[in-house]
Structure formats: structure tokens, C-alpha cells
Amino acid sequence: MDGFDEDLVNALKDVVRHGNWCCVGEKRNFKPGCTKLYSEDGEHVVLVRTEDDGFWAMDSSCPHEGGPLELGDIEDLGNGKLGLICPWHHFDFCLETGISSTGLQNQVYEVRVVQEKVYINTQNMLSLSPVPEDSSVPSGTLPLEAPIPTTSENSLCFWARKILCTPDPKEKVTLTQEVQERWNSGKITEVGEAAPPAQPWRKDNLTVVDPKKMKRGRGGTLASRIALLHSLANMEQWAIDLSWDMIARFSNFRLSTGEPLPLQFFNDFVKVAGDEAKHYNLMEQRLTELGSYFGALPVHNGLWQSAKDTSHSPLARLAVINMIHEARGLDVHPQTTSRFAAQGDDGSVRALEVIYSEEITHVAAGLRWFTYICREQGLDCLATFHEMVKKHFRGYLKPPFNTEGRKLAGMTEEWYVPLVRPSS
């Protein structure tokens, strides 16, 4: 070891000793700010270089709603520590610990700079370029032919398609409520079949951007609340469409017995659509009361990407949309409502409580029909769920989990704990 600096030798020994270190490149290649590093398993990482030449790393997906932390700002948290601020809803994450003042926790990774090279302590290989995805259809899923269009106005699927092709959210809500009443009263007498559009229609003046490019500037307290309510209204509009797409897309699905899905399946998702319409109205009303309106800010279509990825299989759709995304909504509810409560916004808190109680029933509906289809097909429910999530949802599930809310929906820990990142 003669001729080498002792500290350098010890540092290199430490890197080798601990094993899971990945060299991500030369130090000079990383400018102050954020750089996204891509992982094969979807658990991408954001590498942060601060102005004082410090290096930090954490998961690039915000544990709140998956916001792109690599587009966030680095700010002083006021306690002598720096934090990365999510650009979607302004959740802060300490660079050192990953802890947020909202109670959320993001995964952080140790970073070392050795001989002008940057190393991150992670079990995954990381790259500056996206990892190519396998475009083949996963094996073991249920095949589904495109539904046949129908012209009968007396069918539920005719109206499902009509609502999906209605761009104005207020009209979409009104039509949803009218169809729900007609279905429940027996005025619509058959499910029918209809081909849903490739994507739900949106108003021309609504700015829809790629989720990865979504970024909002930080405003005052009122601006932050409006931004979050606007995001929630956008999610509720997509949720209305997801319910009608579920009805139309899988109306001609047949179990291995040759039988269609029971009528109660369609009853449940008509109810879900009606609930989501009510939820959109609640968010839109709050925006108006706070001096804004839906469409005042850009929105993203990330939820629809998951719908496209699961369009071939009702099991995949139920697993990812109802049992992953909607269950995540239950998880973040306490943190979201606490932000509004801390600012004295009791009107928003009341609206969010209504949404929360009904979203529990939506998770329950997803779980109920997932287990029904599995049992009718002779599949193990838990094993199939874990398989579907690993195939169609990128990355691991992240705590905190609202165990009480999930349990009320029937989703006990054996459903989701195995999908959490294993401790190293």
C-alpha cells in the first residue's frame, strides 16, 4: 500500500467490505441539484449534490402520490438540515434521514465519493439512462378480446362509453349521477357491450402534462392548499372514468366456466362511479370557495397510465387501481387532512373525511371482486395479487400504511406487507 493515502485505502476497503455499493459515475458529471438514476426494478433514485459539495440520495418517487422528486427544489428546513421538496404537493424530505414534517418517510441511501467517483449503497444497479422495458404481454394473465360496440341506449355500456367521451367534468358528473339513478331504478335493463375509447376525453383548455414533467412553483399557504385540492379534483375525474372503463372494458369478460361477471359487479362499479362524481364535486366546490377553479393549474395523467397497463386483465386492473392506488389514498389521508387542519381549513377537512369513508368501500369492492375471480378461476388469491402487482406496478410499496383503514376495507397485512422492500 506504499504510495497511497491511508484514508483513501481505508475508504476503498470500506466500500468493498460492505458490498452493495454501485458506482454511478465521475463526480464531475453531477452538477449541483438533482439527477435521476434509473433502476431495473423501478425503484429509481435521485442523487442530490448540494452547493457545499455534499452528496445525498433517496428514492425519486414521493411516497405521497409518486411525485418526481428529481424535479424538486432543495431548501433549508429551518433546523440546520436541507430537504428535498416534492414539486407536486410540496412535501418536504430531509436529505439526511428521508423524514418529512408531514410524517411520511422516504428511503435514503448512503453516498460516498472515493477517488472522484460517486458510489451509492444500494442492492440495485443504477444508470443515468432509463432501463428498457419488456413490451411482451406477461404470461399468466387473463386474455381479453376488445368489447363489441353497441348502439342500444338501454345498455349500461352505451352510457359508460358516452361518459368516457364526455370532456367537460361537470357534464361527466351530471351524466354519471343520472345513469346511476336510471340503473338503480331499473330504467336501464341490460349491461350490454361497448368499446371504450383509448383514453377518456378532456376539455381542450385543460393542460395535461406527463407526470414526469409536472412541477408547480411554491406559493403562499392558500396557493399550496389550492394546488393540492386541484390535484385531488383531477384524481377524482380520472377515478370517475376508471369506474366506467372497468364496466365497459370487462363487460364481455368470461370466467373459465363461460359465465359472465355477476350483475352485482356492475352494481358495485356504478356505485363507485357515483361516489367519485360526488368527490369531484366536493373538490371543485372547495376550489371555487377558495377563489380558484378546476383547470386553473396543469394536471397529469399518471393514473390513466396504470389503467392502460392493466387493460388486458380485470385481475390486474383490480389489483393495481383498487387495491394499490386507492389503498394508498387511505394511507396518505391522515397526513393530507392534517395539513388542511393546521391551516384552519375546516371545509376541506370535512370534504376529505367524506371522501375517505367512501374510498374504504372502493378498496373493499376491488378486493371482493379480485378474490371472487381468483376463486372462480381456481387461483390462489394472495399469490396472484402479489404476482399481478410485481408485474404491473413498478417498485415496492412504501410505509406508512393506514392499517386501520385498510383493515376496514378487508385488506389485512398479508396482502401488502410482502410487497414492501426487504430490509437489507
The rounded distance, in Å, linking the Cα atoms of 351 and 64 is 19
Where would I find the beta strands (DSSP E) of 177-311? 208-209, 299-300
Based on its alpha-carbon atoms, the radius of gyration of the chain, rounded to whole angstroms, reads 23
State the pLDDT at residue 204: 87
- Supply 180's cell numbers: 346511476
CB-based contacts of 199: which residues, under 8 Å, 6+ apart? 301, 304, 308
Topology of 6-127 in CATH? Rieske Iron-sulfur Protein (2.102.10)
Q: What is the pTM of this model?
A: 0.76
State the pLDDT at residue 144: 40
State the pLDDT at residue 357: 97
State the pLDDT at residue 407: 97
Q: Which of 397, 325, 327, 320 is nearest to 356 (CA)?
A: 327
The rounded distance, in Å, linking the Cα atoms of 386 and 369 is 16
SS3 content of the chain, % helix, strand, coil (to 5): 45, 15, 40
The rounded distance, in Å, linking the Cα atoms of 86 and 104 is 12
With 0-12 / 13-18 / 19 or more C-beta atoms within 10 angstroms meaning exposed / middle / buried, residue 74 is middle
pLDDT tens digits, one per residue of 46-81: 999 999 999 999 999 888 777 788 888 899 888 889
- Supply 140's cell numbers: 399468466
CB-based contacts of 409: which residues, under 8 Å, 6+ apart? 327, 330, 360, 361, 363, 364, 367
Q: Which of 237, 261, 238 is nearest to 249 (CA)?
A: 261
The low-confidence residues of the chain, meaning pLDDT below 70, are: 1-6, 8-19, 131-151, 210-220, 424
The rounded distance, in Å, linking the Cα atoms of 183 and 174 is 14
Backbone dihedral region of 410: left (phi > 0), alpha (psi from -120 to 50 degrees) or beta? left
Residue 12, classed as helix, strand or coil, is helix
Cα-based distances in Å from 129 to 39, 66, 317, 348, 396: 9, 20, 29, 41, 21
> CATH 1.20.1260.10 region(s) of the chain?
156-419
State the pLDDT at residue 78: 82
| Helix intervals (H) in 134-262 | 156-164, 169-184, 221-249
Handedness of CA 306, 309, 312, 315 (dihedral sign): negative
Contact (CB, 8 A) for 33 and 50: no
Topology of 156-419 in CATH? Ferritin (1.20.1260)
Task: Please tell me the total number of residues recorded for the chain in this structure.
Answer: 424
> CATH 2.102.10.10 region(s) of the chain?
6-127
CB-based contacts of 150: which residues, under 8 Å, 6+ apart? 157, 158, 192, 193, 194
- For Cα atoms 133, 136, 142, give the angle at the middle one, nearest 5 degrees: 125
- Residue 121, CA atoms < 13 Å, CB-side half-sphere: 17
State the pLDDT at residue 39: 86
